[in-house]
Amino acid sequence: MSGVSDLERWKLKRLIKSLEAARGSGTSMISLAIPPKQQISQVVSMLTEEFGTASNIKSRVNRQSVLSAITSAQHRLKLYSRTPPNGLVVYCGTILTDDGKEKLVNIDFEPFKPVSTKLYLCDSRFHLDPLAGLLEDNTKFGFIVIDGKGSLYGQLSGNTRETLHQFSVELPKKHGRGGQSSMRFGRIRLEKRQNYVRKVAEKATQLFITNNAINVTGLILAGSAEFKEELEKSDVFDPRLRSKVIQLVDVAYGGENGFSEAITLSRKYLDNVKVVQEQELVTKFFDEIARNTGKISYGIDDIISALEDGAVETLIVWENLVAWRVEFQDAEGTKTVRFLRSEQEQECVNAVDKVTGAQLEVVSKEPLVDWLAEAYTNFGTSLEIIGDSAPEATAFINGFGGIGGLLRWKREEFDIQESDSEDYFDENDPDDEYAEFF
């Protein structure tokens, strides 16, 4: 990926998602967050006291579960002689699986950012506030897209874009109706434009200033007419927001389309924003298709084959891709690996060897994205895990299944022009979702 922090951030999001769904029987799930300055010995002493208290729980089953979780937490802390520089997060306890069985969970790690919250809770679920706070991105950019038809307020942070507010307006045209003097009509038109700009400015203050402080790193004004210049120069535009304006952008559209165009045209000012990086990456993928270089691959089977050949320079994977890496074993202990899409998951049940017909047992099963996040370096490739906020990313997900690669060289067996796959799309077909990107 573009940096270790990106991969760490994605792994943390996956961990939070899995822990959110976990539920236990009784209060047997321990959530423990230790800030950098807190001593491990203090936490160990606290857990010893909690162990004594838990010994008095009347319910035998609940008592044993709680004592087991506390013991597990104590054992995890013994692995550390001192609190790591960024603190420590520990989750221990017995959870219930989908089939109703009990499973012991023990997780401990030093996060990629300092833990700011001290936490100890024993509950029927894991408490994830300390982890969620680590994912907050303080780099946020505000957008105001304004034209003669209405205004849109948006926000861009990491790989997430959000429309905060939108409203439409009807302004007088440049030429008045019959029966009105040109001067009178001009005054009415000017007054309504000024009122419109005032409304836009006042709403901007409401959205981009919180508790008397600006809540965005920078502000971009976009529009297809001169309204953006009028807004910036207006006396009713909050001076604090004016000081944060980093760019005025001319766009051909208003609304959501104008928002997308403004993000694209502001790239050099937003180089560190994840969604812009994703736009550029997927656009490069589409460019390779448009130029028919043959240096792209997509689909799980083709990607795995290209990875094994060492041909993939950059691997692009949608963060919510539903696919599996499944390891099977036959009666003689011979193991095979299959990569299955969501609609093929049923193959895990009563699986047989495709050649011999022998019954196969599932040894392990894990999400393909998780496996790639750990194994990608073994194939000499870089990994980019993308979201679906950018229109280009959505087209990549819908058109190519959410997994593709930029190749170092053209692979002879894969030619997009000659492929008879149902996944092939015609760039000249206006019905293709991604045709606009060529």
Q: What is the pLDDT of residues 383-418, one digit of tens each?
A: 999 988 888 899 999 999 999 999 999 986 544 444
The reported pLDDT for the residue numbered 423 is 43
Q: Which among 394, 382, 415 is positioned nearest to 289, based on CA atoms?
A: 415
Contact call for residues 77 and 27 (beta carbons, < 8 A):
no
CB 353 within 8 A of CB 361: no
> What pLDDT was estimated at residue 180?
56
Q: Which of 124, 94, 118, 146 is nearest to 40 (CA)?
A: 118
363 CB neighbour count, 10 Å cutoff: 12
Which region among 221-225, 255-259, 271-275, 373-377 has the lowest average model confidence (pLDDT)? 271-275
pLDDT of 2 reads 44
- DSSP 3-state assignment of 391? helix
Decide: 91 and 105 in contact? Cβ < 8 Å. Answer: yes
Residues 86-110 as b or e (16 or more Cβ within 10 Å = b): bbbbbbbbbbeeeeeeeeebeebbb
Q: Is the pLDDT of residue 419 over 70?
A: no
pLDDT at 415: 47
Nearest to 310 by CA among 401, 221, 244, 407: 407
Residues 358, 363, 369, 375: what is their CA dihedral angle, to the nearest 10 degrees? Answer: -100
Span between the terminal Cα atoms of the chain, in Å? 25
Work out the pLDDT band at 430, boundaries 50, 70, 90.
Answer: very low
Span 179-192, pLDDT tens digits: 556 676 667 778 88
Average pLDDT, the chain: 85
pLDDT of residue 272: 60
- Paired tokens of 404: 């593709």
| DSSP-based helix, strand, coil % in the chain, nearest 5 | 40, 25, 35
How buried is residue 286: exposed, middle or buried, by Cβ count under 10 Å (0-12/13-18/19+)? buried
CA 388 to chain centre: 8
pLDDT at residue 178 tops 90: no
| DSSP per residue, 293-334 | -S-EEESHHHHHHHHHTT-EEEEEEETT--EEEEEEE-TT--
Q: What is the pLDDT of residues 108-141, one digit of tens each?
A: 999 888 888 899 998 889 999 888 877 766 678 9
Residue 417 tokens read as: 């022009």
| CA torsion, ordered 417, 423, 429, 432, to nearest 10 deg | -140
* Distance, CA of 240 to CA of 219 (rounded, Å): 11
Average pLDDT over every residue of 88-107: 86
What's the confidence (pLDDT) of residue 175? 57
Coil/strand/helix, residue 92: strand
Could you give the strand order of the β-sheet that contains 312-318, starting from the edge strand earlier in sequence? Answer: 296-298, 403-407, 312-318, 382-386
Contact 92, 105 (CB under 8 A): yes
In this predicted structure, the answer to whether residue 91 has a pLDDT above a threshold of 60 is yes
